[in-house]
């Protein structure tokens, strides 16, 4: 890592590799961040804004933003929770990519079907803080549901689920005799099934988020970046739907296409007709067009939105 000289620049950390990297690069391009990253360099100065991009391991970004001099970052919610720095940072936007679950997994042939059955056993994970908290709560719940006369001595009541940390290849811990179960991230589940594992419980759901330190040094620039990213995310979710409709059917048409705040309504040369423009969610576009057609709308056009401010 090169020596960082701030010089009035906002420090923005993004993952240097891994499952979030490509999505982060695409997002930076969309919001007009112009930079060139030299080979093997983990710092890139932005030419059109007072920003320095820092390419860091995703697992470290939350710590640098919360306790260091980094102003903003992108990483997974799982990392923020594991770092236990929620009180020192502000989550600005969920980004919709990097979605996964942090799940308890056991060998498919073990006969174990729930995380409760692993209480008191050996667990291997790359998320020791979250895992320990999760199993501590399971142990407390188990003791609360056990009759007093069956709880045994105080030493027996502690159960002591053994959580061990490994940095990678968590999925092989059971087959190599290191663990009875693991806690690891699951996206598609292909790696889990290939390792002969199955889900026994879910610790949390996660996705990539934009976040910043609570004590903002550059609040206007933070808000500008947030607004740009929000515009890109909205553009991915919506299309612009344009159509003509009889003026008498305007009220019903607005109920079908209310837009994000309100549709645009414009008069046409024919006094009985109006033109309506509205943002429509891609997920319901086909059904929306069917309803407009049934209402008598004509010239229905759908236009892609590359970027927006709403």
For the record, the structure tokens of 261 come out as 């705040």
3-class DSSP state of 37: coil
User: What is the rounded distance in angstroms from the CA atom of residue 78 to the CA atom of residue 28?
Assistant: 22
User: What is the rounded distance in angstroms from the CA atom of residue 243 to the CA atom of residue 181?
Assistant: 57
Q: How many helices (H) and strands (E) does the chain have?
A: 9, 15
Task: Return the exposure string of 12-31: e unless at least 16 CB atoms fall within 10 Å of the residue's CB, then b.
Answer: bbbbbeeebbebbeebbebb
Domain pair 10-98+207-217 / 100-206, same fold: yes
On the 0-12 / 13-18 / 19+ scale of CB atoms within 10 A, 299 is exposed
On the 0-12 / 13-18 / 19+ scale of CB atoms within 10 A, 132 is middle
What CATH code would you report for 237-304?
A: 3.30.70.120
**Which fold is adopted by the domain 100-206?**
D-Maltodextrin-Binding Protein; domain 2 (3.40.190)
pLDDT in single tens digits along all 310 residues of the chain: 555 555 689 999 999 998 899 999 999 999 999 999 888 889 999 999 999 999 999 999 999 999 999 999 999 999 999 999 999 999 999 999 999 999 999 999 999 999 999 999 999 999 999 999 999 999 988 776 666 555 555 555 555 899 999 998 899 999 999 999 999 999 999 999 999 999 999 999 999 999 999 999 999 999 999 999 999 999 999 999 999 999 999 999 999 999 988 999 999 999 999 999 999 999 999 999 999 999 999 999 999 999 998 7
Q: What is the DSSP letter of 258?
A: -
Whether the Cβ atoms of residue 14 and residue 53 lie closer than 8 Å to each other: yes
For the domain 10-98+207-217, what is the CATH superfamily, name and number? Periplasmic binding protein-like II (3.40.190.10)
**Where along the chain do its domains lie?**
10-98+207-217, 100-206, 237-304
User: What is the rounded distance in angstroms from the CA atom of residue 187 to the CA atom of residue 23?
Assistant: 15
pLDDT at residue 38 in the model: 87
């Amino acid at each position: 890592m090169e020596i960082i000289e701030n010089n009035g620049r906002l420090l923005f950390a993004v993952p240097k590799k891994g499952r979030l990297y490509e999505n982060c690069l695409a997002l930076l391009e969309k919001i007009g961040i112009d930079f060139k990253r030299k080979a093997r360099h983990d710092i890139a100065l932005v030419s059109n804004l007072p920003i320095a991009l820092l390419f860091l391991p995703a697992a470290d970004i939350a710590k640098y933003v919360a306790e260091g001099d980094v102003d903003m970052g992108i990483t997974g919610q799982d990392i923020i929770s594991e770092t236990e720095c929620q009180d020192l940072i502000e989550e600005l936007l969920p980004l919709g990519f990097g979605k996964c679950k942090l799940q308890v997994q056991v060998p498919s042939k073990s006969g174990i079907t729930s995380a409760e059955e692993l209480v008191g056993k050996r667990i291997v994970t790359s998320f020791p803080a979250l895992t320990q908290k999760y199993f501590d709560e399971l142990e407390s719940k188990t003791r609360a549901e056990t009759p007093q006369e069956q709880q045994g001595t105080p030493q027996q009541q502690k159960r002591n689920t053994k959580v061990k940390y490994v940095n990678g290849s968590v999925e092989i811990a059971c087959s190599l005799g290191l663990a009875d179960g693991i806690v690891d991230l699951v996206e598609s589940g292909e790696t889990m099934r290939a390792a002969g594992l199955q889900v026994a419980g879910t610790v949390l759901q996660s996705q990539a988020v934009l976040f910043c330190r609570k004590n903002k040094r550059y609040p206007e620039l933070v808000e500008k970046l947030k607004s740009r990213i929000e515009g890109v995310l909205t553009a991915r979710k919506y299309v612009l739907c344009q159509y003509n409709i009889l003026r008498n059917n305007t009220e019903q048409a607005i109920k079908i296409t209310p837009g994000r705040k309100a549709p645009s309504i414009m008069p046409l040369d024919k006094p009985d007709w109006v033109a309506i423009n509205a943002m429509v969610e891609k997920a319901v576009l086909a059904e929306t067009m069917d309803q407009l057609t049934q209402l008598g709308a004509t010239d229905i056009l759908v236009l892609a939105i590359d970027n927006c401010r709403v």
